[in-house]
Copies of this chain bind each other. A is one copy, B any other.
Amino acid sequence: MHRQIMAQKPSIPKGTRDFSPAEMARRNYIFDTVKEVFQLYGFQPIETPAMENLSTLMGKYGEEGDKLLFKILNSGDFISKVDAEELLERNSIRLTNQISEKGLRYDLTVPFARFVVQYRNDISFPFKRYQIQPVWRADRPQKGRYREFYQCDVDIVGSDSLLNEFELVQIISDVFTRLNVNTVVKINNRKILAGIAETIGEAERMVDITVAIDKLDKIGLENVNSELIEKGVSETAVEKLQPILQLSGTTDEKLDQLEAVIGASEIGKKGIGEVRKLFAYLNTVTLNTDVELDLTLARGLNYYTGAIFEVKAKDVQIGSICGGGRYDDLTGIFGMPGVSGVGISFGADRIYDVMNQLELFPESAVATTKVLFVNFGEQEESFCLPILSKLRQAGVNAEIFPEAAKIKKQMTWADRKNIAWVAVVGEQEMAEGKVNLKNMKTGDQKLVDPEELINILSA
């Protein structure tokens, strides 16, 4: 190793993060909650390798995505076979093909599609899987955007049933109820958007129209109309769009008004039917989460073919914390057409930020060791070790300071580690066969015998 490197303060690549024990506890609280709910609904985990063949990844995320893939340099003498002309051409993209065969996964969707196709003969469809793993993107790092971050995806593939959409909304509700985050689930359907565009004679303008609807609250009806015309939507089309821009009432009423306008469009009608059925399912259960139809939801329109979901936190201004939808051709890119699926993805980083900001992490989520035995030396240690051992047998997270340091140091250590209780045994306690148990939060102290100590701490 070079001397100049030794002298540098070590650091990590920009856009990446280390997670401290305190952060890990909070993150695991989120992940554990999510996993538990996924399993409650019959989903099972899979994992795929961090590295995929570039042939699997390239061309799946658009030209920009290809650039944002982290590529792995081939091992060994990668450069010897590249011809001189090619080298001197200095085309980084072309050269990459010659010296790199693998890349880091960019999301969990493409690896999942690859997985489904690769193991199609072993999988029992419908296949309900979840996957919680990091992904990597060579994006420009900025606040809240990282080059390595966890995705947390749950999908059902191989079933067209709307029952799946219903289950996913319940999962969303269950997860955020458990996490104590107030949310609203917004639901749209790409078929409705297509129906609107078709009805007004602007089938290619689906995105423009959705963006326009989205701006209604901010800039008002007149400005929306002008914008549409500026963008080249015909006056007749804008005219036809008016009732849709002014939908009101309950979800059912909105759907009725919508049907009156776009009911003649086959795809539009189908979309309305799907939304009606999903809301009918939702009406059979009591959810802690608001669920609303939102025609402005234009997430993943190149990708989703049916339902579109987006979840917003009610008490914090932040982008969506969960989203997803139905796609009708997940695996076609790998030569296996006709596999329909629906899935959602939880944004762990944003959920973390919301919960941190609202101080929603419960004590139990950040609890560490329950009790620390202070260490005063060999004799006291001998007295404490059997008690420690019994505590652990009783399932109590417990530890002893590994050396006879000053008590102040040991107490500070316990405090910084957020340990709930400290057990102090000095000469006097030993003589009495007792332990002085201190509650680190209240400061209360109590002289107890070892059995009592175990009872208190394992309660």
Contacts and interface: CB of A to CB of B under 8 A. Distances in A.
A368 B40 contact: no
A430 interface: no
A21 interface: yes
A413 B381 contact: no
A46 B59 contact: no
Given A24-B46, A59-B1, A385-B284, A52 B163 contact: no
B79 A90 contact: yes
Nearest to A28: B45
A96 to B, nearest CB: 7
A7 B335 CA distance: 6
A317 interface: no
Given A53-B13, A381-B163, A46 B67 contact: no
A41 B402 CA distance: 12
Interface in A72-86: 72-73, 75-80, 82, 84
A333 B80 contact: no
Given A12-B49, A53-B11, A40 B395 contact: yes
Interface stretch (A112-120, A189-197, A243-251, A259-267): A112-120
- Is chain A's interface secondary structure helix, strand, loop, or mixed overall? mixed
B50 A398 contact: no
The copy count of this chain in the complex is: 2
A287 to B, nearest CB: 10
Interface in A206-262: none
Contact of A71 (B73, B334, B375): B73
A284 to B, nearest CB: 6
Nearest to A128: B399
A382 interface: yes
Interface in A1-44: 1-2, 5-13, 16-21, 24-25, 28, 39-42, 44
A123 to B, nearest CB: 9
A118 B397 contact: no
Contacts of A49: 12-13, 16-18, 148
Interface of A: 1-2, 5-13, 16-21, 24-25, 28, 39-42, 44-53, 55-56, 58-60, 67-68, 70-73, 75-80, 82, 84, 87-88, 90-92, 95-96, 99-102, 104, 114-115, 117-119, 122, 124, 126, 128-129, 134, 136, 138, 147-148, 156, 159-161, 163-164, 167, 170, 174, 281, 284-285, 333-335, 368-369, 372, 375, 381-382, 385-386, 389, 392, 395-403, 412-413, 416-417
